[in-house]
Structure 1
Amino acid sequence: MHNAHHHVKSKRIPKVCFLHGMEYDDRPDAAKRLEQARIARGFATAKDAARFHGWVYETYIQHEQGTRGIPRAAAKYAKAYKVSEGWLLTGEGTAPEKVPLMTKIRGKAGAGPEGSVLFATGDGYLGEVPAPEGATENTSALEVEGDSMRGLANDGWLIFYDEKEAPRPEHMGEPCVCFLEDDRVLVKTPYPGSQPGLYHLESVNAPMMLDVPVRHFAFVTDIKPRRSAQKHIRRNPNAEIQDVRLDGRRA
């Protein structure tokens, strides 16, 4: 019995019962509700939430894991997650409703030369907005800046697009986010060029760009006008934007 007084501190994480093959969670109820509130507000991971709100991740994750109590931080978390402090601490009151899938705003369209897209640096996104109908976790958004895209999307509108992919015939004649070989990113409508690998890129208010080499296209799937777009944007306070391409090289 030499181990009778040997203590092991529990990390209070979900464990597996090997006898029955069932998972159980021995965290305090307040820690479970904190995780529930975070997920309901659209943050997939604790790190996403801590980064967005400017919290110390190491402290926050201990609160979710239940290794530290949350009474002192409950008011802060309740305000951020739009739940009552009482519910968070005791479970009394109404549990949070799950918010819609959120789409990250990756950059600004029309902000660079020739109406090019400038992507966010730092955390990699400018903010989040509820995803449009039919969106997936791979859907992204661009916020239009200026009037270079007027006729397709005006200043302050949001353009949603799918994951980028290699050029294929289905992209032709459809508004797309176009990832050019010279690292520029433009929102244009592509058409076949004079030879394979080259494309004519049409704009609503500028001359057509002829025989442009393009690496990838991404379908534009939805566009939201300024009034509905700006009302629901949740800004990333740590975001920066520079004329940097997706692969990290400066223009």
Structure 2
Amino acid sequence: MLSEWLRQVMETSGVKQAELSRLLTVMLGRSIDRAAVNKMLKGTRAISGDELIAISTITGFDAPRERVVPIVGRVGAGAVVEATEDGNNGEQVEAPAQSVPSTVAVEVVGDSMFPAYEPGDLIFYSRHLPADEMLNRRAVVKLATGEILVKRIRPGSTAGFHNLESLNPLFSTIEDTVIEWAAPIDWSKPR
């Protein structure tokens, strides 16, 4: 968020609210009072493009660039979802703060993982792990059949097989399935 960036650059550069207000007013030729700067810091007032450039000049810190990640498809949570051919539909969404370059997002379809995830929620992940490393954890999984789901991974009846649990008690466990890959969930957010 820009408010976090503003707080960081003001602290690092030592520029105080009153000083930033005065310098912005001079640079932009319009009144930017201390209350406006305070609202910028709280995130209750947007920082315009020209204000962002001016703040960057005043503090000596580059303006942040919005980081986005691709939405690579949908994950079934009680709905059957097939993997897309290339895994990218061209849609992007703002990246979570802790994201890494390999982070991607998927959209939840269905309600088998309610209340943790609802239809339309976005789930972010950045790596694939063997299913055995994800036991008893929620994960985005790709099955050998091509389906991509969000479930809790449990041990199956024999080696190489896993059970996939839903959080919603109205949905039954998928038993003894082969998981191609499992991705730990880094972050999720409502859409």
Give the TM-score normalised by the residue count of structure 1: 0.46
**Correspondent of 2:135 among 172, 187, 191:** 172
Pick the aligned partner of 2:120 from 149, 152, 156.
156
After TM superposition, the structure 1 stretch with the greater mean CA deviation from structure 2, 178-187 or 145-154, is: 145-154
Q: Which has the larger radius of gyration?
A: 1
Alignment of 1:224 with 2:186, yes or no, is no
For residues 101-116 of structure 1, the aligned pairs below 5 Å read 101-110=67-76, 114-116=78-80
Distance (whole Å) between structure 1 residues aligned to residue 159 and residue 83 of structure 2 = 28
In 2, Cα distance between the equivalents of 1:117 and 1:144?
10
* CA contact 1:116–1:187 (8 Å) conserved in 2: no
Residue of structure 1 equivalent to 2:94: 130
Secondary structure of the residue aligned to 1:168 is helix
Residues 125-151 of structure 1: CA distance to partner in whole angstroms, max 9, x if unpaired?
A: 341112113211111111123434422
The one-letter code sitting in structure 1 at the alignment partner of 2:183 is: A
Q: Aligned partners of 2:93 and 2:120: how far apart in 1?
A: 13
Query: Is 1:175–1:220's contact at 8 Å kept on the other side of the alignment?
Result: yes
- Check if 1:203 corresponds to 2:171: no
Residue 97 (structure 1) shift: 3.0
Q: Gaps (5+ residues) in structure 1? A: 1-81, 88-95, 227-251
Per-residue CA shift, 1:116-173, capped at 9, x if unaligned? 334455782341112113211111111123434422211221111122233333x011
Length-normalised TM-score, structure 2: 0.59
Are the aligned partners of 2:82 and 2:146 in contact in 1 as well (CA < 8 Å)? no
Q: What secondary structure does 1:223 align onto?
A: strand
Runs of 4+ in 1 over 6 A off after TM superposition: none
**May I ask how many residue pairs the two structures share in their alignment?**
133
Confirm or deny: 8 A CA contact 2:74 2:106 kept in the other structure.
Answer: yes
Q: 1:123 to 1:200 in 2, by over 3 A?
A: closer
2:156 aligned partner: 193
The C-alpha deviation readout for 1:9-48, integer Å capped at 9, x for no partner, is: xxxxxxxxxxxxxxxxxxxxxxxxxxxxxxxxxxxxxxxx
Partner Cα separation in structure 2 for residue 115 and residue 123 of structure 1:
18
Pairwise CA RMSD: 2.8
